[in-house]
Amino acid sequence: MRMNKTLAYGLACLHYLGNQRHRKWNEVSDIASSQNLPVPYANKVLQALVRANFVESQKGKGYRLNKDLDDITVWNLMEAFTFNHAPSSSEETLIKLYETLKERVNHWLMGLSVQDIIEMMKAEEERKKNKDNG
């Protein structure tokens, strides 16, 4: 599977927000600079995360997590950025295709959360660090 830039940026934003204790508010410029993202693109990504109800925003305060990273599945994230949620078409075949895809992907990725991805990344970094030092 090819991951698009928006999905990668979404993971980066969620990772940053997940590291913020007590769910404090964060300005888009801080999020973008810490993740080496362009501010306009980070803002676009954060708005998609708000629409998906993973993040909340408040004018003048910024953004913060609205859900625990353990509660955001990989499918939810993919859907928010790649599929832009269920088709709004009235064509029954299109909706059935979408639902079949969703069921299959959910089955393959069952239980895999954004937090799991972050922990896998950290474990891989630690493994490489130990390999380089050993």
Residue spans of the domains in the chain: they are 5-67, 70-133
Answer CATH for 5-67 from 3.40.50.2020, 3.40.640.10, 2.30.130.10, 1.10.10.10: 1.10.10.10
- What pLDDT, on the 0 to 100 scale, is given for residue 49? 94
pLDDT in tens, 35-88: 889 999 999 999 999 999 999 999 989 999 999 999 998 888 888 876 555 555
| pTM to 2 decimal places | 0.75
Q: Which of 2-11, 16-25, 39-48, 101-110 has the highest mean pLDDT?
A: 39-48
Contacts of residues 44-52 at CB distance under 8 Å and 24 or more positions apart, as own/partner, are: 44/6, 45/6, 45/9, 45/10, 45/13, 45/81, 46/13, 48/6, 48/10, 48/80, 48/81, 49/10, 49/13, 49/14, 49/80, 51/80, 52/76, 52/77, 52/79, 52/80, 52/85
Residue 90 pLDDT class (50, 70, 90 cuts)? low
- What pLDDT, on the 0 to 100 scale, is given for residue 1? 43
